[in-house]
Amino acid sequence: MILHQILRLSSIFRSAVSIHLRRNIGLSAVVFNKTKELDPVQKLFLDKIREYNTKSKQAGGPVDAGPEFQKDMNESLARLQRAYGEGDLTKFPEFKFE
């Protein structure tokens, strides 16, 4: 009887330790992966995303969008305002619950 309980607790302990080790190894793999050099394709991708981010902040909107894009966007916003009423369609709506 005691041997049976010891074996049962042993398997529960092994299971808990196994899960704990798997989680720690998974987290440490992410940390070790960040410390080593990036793949050249990943580095190029991240550089392009950062470049687009700085360009969009400087432009204040979409990058390399010509007057045709602005015209299409204004027409779409006007059509939506006619269909769904007035208001600023470029902002997320605010909901008030009482």
Higher local confidence (pLDDT), 47 or 88: 47
Evaluate whether residue 43 is within a structural domain.
yes
Give the pair of three-digit tokens for residue 80.
Answer: 């939506």
Token match 């605010």: residue? Answer: 94
Evaluate whether residue 76 is within a structural domain.
no
Find the distance separating the first CA and the last CA of the chain, reported in whole Å.
62
Evaluate whether residue 44 is within a structural domain.
yes
Percent of the chain surpassing pLDDT 70: 69
pTM strictly above 0.95:
no
Which structural domain, as residue segments, surrounds residue 20?
A: 8-56
Q: Residue 74's Cα: distance from chain center in Å? A: 29
48: confidence class by pLDDT, cuts 50, 70, 90: very high
93: Cβ–Cβ under 8 A, 6 or more apart, which residues?
Answer: 87
Evaluate whether residue 80 is within a structural domain.
no
Judged by DSSP in three states, 26 sits in: helix
Percent of the chain surpassing pLDDT 90: 16
Evaluate whether residue 47 is within a structural domain.
yes
Domains identified in the chain, total number: 1
Evaluate whether residue 97 is within a structural domain.
no
